[in-house]
A and B are shown apart, each in its own frame.
Chain A
């Protein structure tokens, strides 16, 4: 019982110790690959012809275009992006139900950058013990020197991080030149400043606080995990009772605190599953190292499934990993994920390079011309996704006799600029004696044909005659 417990808790500093092992190596590789992808991608070139940008991955917000290698997405095709986001969500569900918070532990930017920042910290200030001493030391010149060096390196990484982000949104080499000569748009500097600040603060100082207090994912993940989910755990039945001194009835845990000292979240995995655990698996490496040294089998801390506990307590072998992973939930997530993936790939292959939409002008529905003909007006939006200008030939087909005219032109050919769309007003006319002029409405189909390639597209609409209700 404490009378004066504060309502607000100070942040407890964490000094993760260096560790080596299988999972640490895996995490170094993942860090190298993910950071490499992030920093290098905007600089990859991809030739699309003279009228289009040559950046492999480009989100052109001003031009309303998204370029990804050979794929170009227009605003009306945003469902591709929506589909990818749904796939990302389902993928997260799948991995969480199979392997727990594997996203948090290995791939989340917060984890990756924090890992990088801790690496820098260790280079400059030394390993755990040195850092604890430095933390407690007075602010001498030595401490200032180490701290400032660390902060400057962090800041450089942060600027590179914020800087890389803006390169995805405009031509990277041009923007870099503009940034250096102070000619870039204020939005670019503002974005870099904001992302530099968040990287610096989140990676350097907030660290585990982001995961525990700011991120919603730790609170949601419980819904995707069950007894078969493989997650980082402590074989309590093997380790307990823990004791530093080896006696006959003590467990394998020698209470060396290696698992606690390496934990970037500052928790003790032996307390069981907890919200703070991001399953980075560094405690597994730390404990395996100790088990090797004291001649005990590895795996006191390990990827475990809760459902295996009874068998393991009874000294039997756990279920094979594959049996844990293959279960209705994961199969369903995989099926949904693949379904959307196949759908998107299919949609990608069937989409046309030329396209049109038709808006019938219904104010008024029709007009009478001086010779008694009936005319309807339509606004066609013609899209040319090619990297060069194309000539579109407009025509229509219908069961009745109808004529098509293009506003301001004698021919039926409209030129559309490269990678753009144009609106064209067209008129459809029925002679007074023909059925279409008299009846309520007549179905018709507009066609566009690329004069060069012969590629065609159509849209259905209808023609309103005099008898329009």
Chain B
């Protein structure tokens, strides 16, 4: 009886979670006329890929996709490295200013990004970094460093210091000990931090629309934002774009699924 109730609850929740995804896929496969016809059909009468074709022919979606991948991978990688280093120090040493650094990082999470946008824009312009993926990466790294560092610190604190001390007794320097002994144990945490960074950057909209307006440097959210606010929303194309934009993260999820759940359950709370 309990089991049954549990199964029912789990199934219902799964349906609720997946239905929107299902609906967006169905919408993306309907011809235009069918999208706007009543009664609604829960599977297209005529399946079409026209919206996907449009996306890649008219809208240069392949360029945006590559840009997004590039920016997300590089920023997430840099952030993870910075987080691995910074988190270690914050977890293992006590020194003057440690509290201040933690505080400074925490406060960034409370400041609305928008008050910084204007000055940041001028600064990026001075540095000639507008409309460049590199500029976007710099800003993203800065945006993600606090969270990544704090989350990594949480992971280190779960690992017994004895582990490193053992290695150091064998004559290895602190850095070597860290790389050889600690990092392997930390892999789930590192993966989680990387994923977190990737997803955040992949989905980031407001910074990107501020700094990017050239076609060749647009990321997916920028492109999608220009779909909606124009005269009318082309729901078919929008649905197709949504599906395409979710795929890479899903693939990444599937690839390191074990680490994500493990890593996030272990680290997120401590953050």
A and B from one complex: no
Report A's interface with B, CB cutoff 8 A: none
